Amino acid sequence: MRTVEANGVVLGVAHFGDVEAPLVLCAGGTTMLSWPDSLCESVARGGRHVVRYDLRDSGSSTTVDPEAPAYSLRDLAADAAALARELDDRPAHLAGIGVGGMVAQVAALDHPEAFSALTLAGTRPVAPGPVDDDLPDHDAATMDRLFSRPMPDWSDRDAVAAYLAEGAEILGNDPAAARAVAERAWDRTPGTLPAVQMANQLGMVFARLDCAPRWRERLPELTLPTLVVHGRRDPFFPIGNGEALAREIPGARLLALEHASTAIPDVAAEEVAKAMLAL
């Protein structure tokens, strides 16, 4: 695990593949571990240098005050562009998952010269909060089950891992895989405020961000080759959100994962990697 200074902050990064190969930059949502090892390794085997990274206030990236973030979605987008430039002189293929997919959309719109292609996984074309009338919102019954549970002791590694594994099962993801990711995220978190950073795995800090101005209306401006990956069983951002992205970004391709929810399962890693490499 390494860190890179970009845009005035320190970002935790992990590398896969040949550093001389074209760059695929993966924005975690929020932790870099949102991108499974199997997928990163598959893309690297296809001849790419893959770098996944932690957004601010997660993992080994800069943490200041997650309860009151003093930065905006556009700052996170600028982080992605600055990191791409620090890592390679050539434009990068930018991939974002979940909230990282929102960062990736704004980054590609605000800094088009920094990127050569775009992959958006399990995300939507609007910020957290009220959804546009034509987009499907979170599944109400699933959200009730997910958020009505008592919070764990965020300072207890086992309790947090069990809580996130249970949440993954509610969402339709693999609970064992989610537990393993939660334990890894815990173990790689610096000694400062691990409990707060683990709480961020639910996107709590992102919900407090300034996400203005809207960017959905700008999506037709994108000229990058774009892949939209979405789980057919996603109850958090139902697939209609991915369909809207694929429809509104010129030339975008939608890859619907029939048996996936919010996470990209290992069994789909090769399929997703092949589609990313095709860009």
Q: Residue 250 forms beta bridges with which residues?
A: none
Question: Whole-angstrom Cα distance, residue 124 to residue 243?
Answer: 9
Q: Is residue 188 part of a domain?
A: no
Q: Is residue 199 part of a domain?
A: yes
Backbone angles phi and psi of 72, in degrees to 5 = -115, 175
Residue-number span of the structural domain to which 82 is assigned: 2-137+193-278
What is the structure's pLDDT at 29? 76
> Is the peptide bond prior to 213 cis by the omega test (within 30 degrees of 0)?
yes
Sheet-wide strand order for 253-257: 2-6, 9-16, 49-53, 23-27, 92-97, 115-121, 226-231, 253-257
What is the structure's pLDDT at 185? 85
Question: Whole-angstrom Cα distance, residue 89 to residue 108?
Answer: 17
3-state secondary structure of 35: coil
For residue 10, which amino acid is it?
V
Q: Is residue 255 part of a domain?
A: yes
Q: Residue 201's domain is classified under what CATH number?
A: 3.40.50.1820
Q: Is residue 270 part of a domain?
A: yes
Closest of 236, 276, 270, 1 to residue 98, by C-alpha: 236
Residues 6+ apart with CB under 8 A from 37: none
Q: Is residue 144 part of a domain?
A: no
> What is the distance between the terminal CA atoms of the chain, rounded to a whole angstrom?
28
What is the structure's pLDDT at 205? 66
CB 209 within 8 A of CB 69: yes
Q: Is residue 85 part of a domain?
A: yes
Q: Is residue 115 part of a domain?
A: yes
What is the structure's pLDDT at 192? 45
Question: Whole-angstrom Cα distance, residue 34 to residue 52?
Answer: 9
Q: Is residue 175 part of a domain?
A: no
Q: Each residue's pLDDT tens digit in the chain (279 positions)?
A: 799 999 999 999 999 999 999 999 999 876 899 999 999 999 999 999 999 999 988 888 887 776 778 899 999 999 999 999 999 999 999 999 999 999 999 999 999 999 999 999 999 999 988 889 999 999 999 999 999 999 888 788 899 899 999 999 999 999 999 999 989 988 877 554 555 555 555 555 677 788 889 999 999 999 999 999 999 999 999 999 999 999 999 999 999 999 999 999 999 999 999 999 999
> Is the peptide bond prior to 30 cis by the omega test (within 30 degrees of 0)?
yes
Quote the radius of gyration of the chain (alpha carbons, Å). 17
Total tally of structural domains belonging to the chain: 1
